Amino acid sequence: MIVITGGAGFIGSNLVRGLNDRGQTELLVVDDLEDGRKFRNLADCEIADLLDKDAFLDWVESDGLPDGVEAVLHQGACSNTMESDGRYLMRVNYEYSKKLLHYCTRKRIPFLYASSAAVYGSGEVFEEERRYEAPINLYAYSKFLFDQYVRRVLPEIQSQVLGLRYFNVYGPRESHKGEMTSVAYKAHRQIVDRGRIELFEGTGGFADGEQRRDFVWVGDAVSVNLWFLEHPERSGIFNVGTGRAQSFNQLAHAVIAYHGRGELAYVPLPEKLRRSYQSFTEADLSGLRKAGYTAPFHSVEEAVPLYLSWLEGR
């Protein structure tokens, strides 16, 4: 059995689907369904069981997980970059993760967890080294702190521990995320509802809509996870991005091209985002490639049509 925490969420449910596509249905999904909309992410998936995140933690703390757990894919977290409750973020993103880490390493169960490119803050180098990490919001700090903890204990661990620093992931099964949905999803909805895509005016020395992000197709993020799952001898912290930053304008034009209509408008960056906004991200893939992962990543022009056709087919 494979455990996927956050398995009803965005990346988690895509991992469930990816494992299903490989014939794996002995899956325990762990999540918090207080937001009941997330059930839709699993409606076309096959799983063995579903457990609330608090009940699962009780199992872990009482050493009550069933025998035969092959791996834990820990995707569960508060991913709201604007969350201001530090105690909540530390409890959910840091303390919970530490407890799962220690359980898995004690039982020698492979532990693959979701980190984030947010740990790099407003820097210009995105390489998995401490000197380039400077989180600028609480969410990023919670992810950074757990990465640091993993680095300290990793030399003593005998089983696989893997942190994946996701860059700007987009794709199916994200609509429940509200304000935290991807630019691709928001652009699609804006075209459908208003015929116009709104992007931010220039920031950080970039012109209007020319801020650049490493936009990652969720299918590629799933592929990286599943490759490492097949290579339990690999441990460490790795970036998951395309290695090529693309502008918001490029993404918006890909959405417009798909629909065959629409225009762009530029709006001021909200004040609440000004001190925690990343105007540029681009994954350094040297570590990932050195680890042996060689598959290519989809560009915006390749993946946006796949995504929008999936959305329109729902």
**Catalytic residue positions?**
139, 177
The structure tokens 């490492």 sit at: 228
Kindly tell me the burial class for residue 55, based on how many C-beta atoms sit within 10 Å of its own C-beta (0-12, 13-18, 19 or more): exposed
> Please, which residues bridge with residue 263 across strands?
196
CB 80 within 8 A of CB 42: no
Sign of the dihedral defined by the CA atoms of residues 101, 116, 11, 234, in that order:
negative
CB 298 within 8 A of CB 219: yes
Question: What are the tokens at 137?
Answer: 């919001």
E runs forming strands in the chain = 2-5, 27-31, 49-52, 71-74, 111-116, 161-166, 168-170, 196-200, 212-213, 215-217, 236-240, 246-247, 263-267
Which DSSP category does 85 fall into? -
Q: Which conformational region is residue 68 in: left (phi greater than 0), alpha (psi within -120 to 50 degrees), or beta?
A: left
Sign of the dihedral defined by the CA atoms of residues 232, 43, 182, 256, in that order:
positive
How many other C-beta atoms lie within 10 A of the C-beta of residue 221?
26
Question: What are the tokens at 209?
Answer: 């809509």
CB 169 within 8 A of CB 117: no
Q: Strand, helix or coil at 289?
A: helix
